[in-house]
Amino acid sequence: MYFQVKSKKAVSVIIGYVLLVTFAVIIGVIVYQWMKTYVPQEDLNCPDGVSIFIEDYSYDCSSKILIINFKNNGKFNIGGYFIHATSSPEQELATIDLSKNNTDTTSVIVGSTGIKFGLIGIDNSLKPNDIETERYNLTGTVNIYSIEILPIRWQKEKNRNILVSCKDTKIIEGIECD
């Protein structure tokens, strides 16, 4: 006479499946958290077509007053610029920050060294074909030989208004006394 032993193996298989799926999900979540930091994002840059140039300037070496007329000859509005100068003809990169020497009442310093066209509250106020005059009093600074202008714009990135420097549209202008 045989007594059939009831098999209890069915419970272990279900637990095995549950554990397998659980571990797979947990490992997937861990790998996702780690890998999502490696997803490349688009570089911050100004749109192609941003352009500014110095229509003319005047520099009185005795009074050290520099007046620059900027013109937006691009397709997009410009918010402001960084300005640096060189102190010798051999200097390749301009590193003397002139932003603190700006005497325009309508211009505002933004960040630590940027000059904003127009008043706070109006981003990118220099429209295409607009001309903006900027004045600098360079008393107390060394003699300058050239200036480097780097335009900046306020752009919306991920629902935030951030300052973007247009590194591909930098301009250099040699400065001579009147």
Partner 1 sequence: MKKSVKGLSPVIATVLLITIVIVIALIVFLWIRGMTEEAITKFGNQNVQLVCGQVAFEASYTGNTLYITNPGNIPIFGMNVKIIGEGTHSTIDLRTESDNWPGMGLNQGGAFSDDSLSELLNGNEIILIPILIGESKSGRKTYVCDENQYGFQIII
**Two tokens, residue 177:** 């006394």
Among 2, 32, 38, 120, the residue binding partner 1 under the rule CB under 8 A is 38
Q: Which one, 37 or 62, has the nearer CB to partner 1?
A: 37
User: How far apart, in whole angstroms, are the C-alpha atoms of residue 6 and residue 47?
Assistant: 74
Q: How far is the CB of 163 from partner 1 (least distance, A)?
A: 7
Q: Does 17 bind partner 1 (CB under 8 A)?
A: no
* Spatial CB neighbours of 123, under 8 Å, sequence gap ≥ 6: 79, 153, 154, 161
- The SS3 of residue 58 is strand
Beta bridge partners of 146: 86, 174
Q: Does 79 bind partner 1 (CB under 8 A)?
A: no
Q: Does 174 bind partner 1 (CB under 8 A)?
A: no
Q: Which one, 132 or 148, has the nearer CB to partner 1?
A: 148
12 residue type, one letter: S
Q: How far is the CB of 160 from partner 1 (least distance, A)?
A: 10
Q: How far is the CB of 105 from partner 1 (least distance, A)?
A: 22
Among 68, 78, 94, 144, the residue binding partner 1 under the rule CB under 8 A is 94
User: How far apart, in whole angstroms, are the C-alpha atoms of residue 85 and residue 88?
Assistant: 9
